[in-house]
A and B are shown apart, each in its own frame.
Chain A
Amino acid sequence: MDEPPPTRYRDGARAVAPFAVAVLGFGVSFGLLARVGGWGWLAPIVMSATTFAGSAQFAAASILGDRGTLAAAVAAALLLNTRYAPIGVSVAPWLDGPRWRRFLHAQLVVDESWAISARGEGRYDPRILVGAGLLLYVAWVAGTAVGALGGQALGGPTTLGLDAAFPALFLALLAPQVRRRKPLFVAVLGGTIALALTPFTPPGVPIIAASVACLLGVRR
């Protein structure tokens, strides 16, 4: 097989552009939600710029909005982000260079940039990862700012169907990875584990627990 031409950061940004549009919309809805929940305009923007993990931020905002405790909000958000530990391990062999650069590149790893940089069989393209991550970061922070600073005129995330956009995004990311039987089995198992645990565990735990599916898949 011929070696494919080397990729550039720009290729990553281009590949992830459709996701960036959705992430922008998601960011607007986070900014709006936080603003409505009494966060002011600065806190949601600071959180998007420092945390850069949508589902965790939504979890923290909704728990605080339901008058949950500080500990519950932090725990739920960090549990949701625990998946970035194994995800970080999976991309680690391809992120090289000095420590500060690995540190910065690691911060650009989110579900979408990670999945789009996957080259199958556990390989990842670091340029795609970083290029995609940068564009998603800009979209996420800009979207949050739009939502937090104004945007009351925009419709809610559910009337726009944004909540349905996210499972669709993840399905689109999953599709090319499950052409063989084993990863398909693991994906279905992961989804089943997550749903089975949803009623019994705090948000975030089902997704982490689903990673056990890959251990069962290896044994099969």
Chain B
Amino acid sequence: MSSLWLVVGLVGLGTVVIKAAGPILLGGRPLPARATGIVELLAPALLGALVATQALGDGRAVVLDERLFGLAAAGIALWWKAPILVVVVAAAAAAALARAVM
């Protein structure tokens, strides 16, 4: 039990420090122009990675499963400019449906 609390404590502490580092050290000051060029591309890079790993990753494996139906449904909903809630519900419903049928 105590090792569980150690994990909870260490992960919590580490996360707080990681999150605080940038804003505490650099807060309120503009970044140099070169850094801005990189940082503005950070969002698409990380989001692209999150989409890919959340849709296709399973631990250390890359798998094709029902989540792909969800992602396809989300893509179609976005193409039709649906609100985000509709996009997400469509994705969850498509995956749940595919799972129930297959």
Contact = CB atoms under 8 A, between A and B. Distances in A.
Contacts of B70: 161, 164-165, 167-168
A30 interface: no
A93 B26 contact: yes
A196 B31 CA distance: 31
Given A78-B14, A96-B28, A187 B44 contact: yes
Contacts of A163: 54, 67, 95
A73 B7 contact: yes
B17 to A, nearest CB: 10
Task: Please tell me the size bucket of the interface on B.
Answer: 35 or more
A93 B92 contact: no
Interface in B55-102: 55-57, 59-62, 66-67, 69-71, 73-75, 78, 83-85, 87-88, 90-97, 99-100
Interface in A48-102: 50-53, 56-57, 60, 64, 70, 73-74, 77-78, 81-93, 95-97, 99, 102
B23 A95 contact: yes
Nearest to A191: B52
Contact of B92 (A81, A83, A165, A182): A165
Given A51-B11, A93-B31, A164-B67, A159 B99 contact: yes
B45 A175 contact: no
A102 to B, nearest CB: 4
Interface residues of A, number: 101
A190 B45 contact: yes
A46 interface: yes
Given A93-B29, A161-B92, A183 B22 contact: no
Interface in B35-64: 35-57, 59-62
A96 B27 contact: yes
A141 interface: no
A74 B47 contact: no
Contacts of B46: 83, 86-87, 111, 190, 207, 210-211
B49 A184 contact: no
Contacts of A85: 18, 21-22
A73 B56 CA distance: 22
A109 B43 CA distance: 13
B71 A171 contact: yes
Contacts of A138: none
Given A168-B92, A187-B51, 5 more contacts: A78-B18, A81-B11, A111-B50, A165-B70, A182-B41
Interface of A: 17-19, 21-22, 39, 43, 46-47, 50-53, 56-57, 60, 64, 70, 73-74, 77-78, 81-93, 95-97, 99, 102-103, 105-107, 109, 111, 114-115, 118, 120-122, 158-175, 177-178, 182-184, 186-195, 198-203, 206-207, 210-215, 217-218
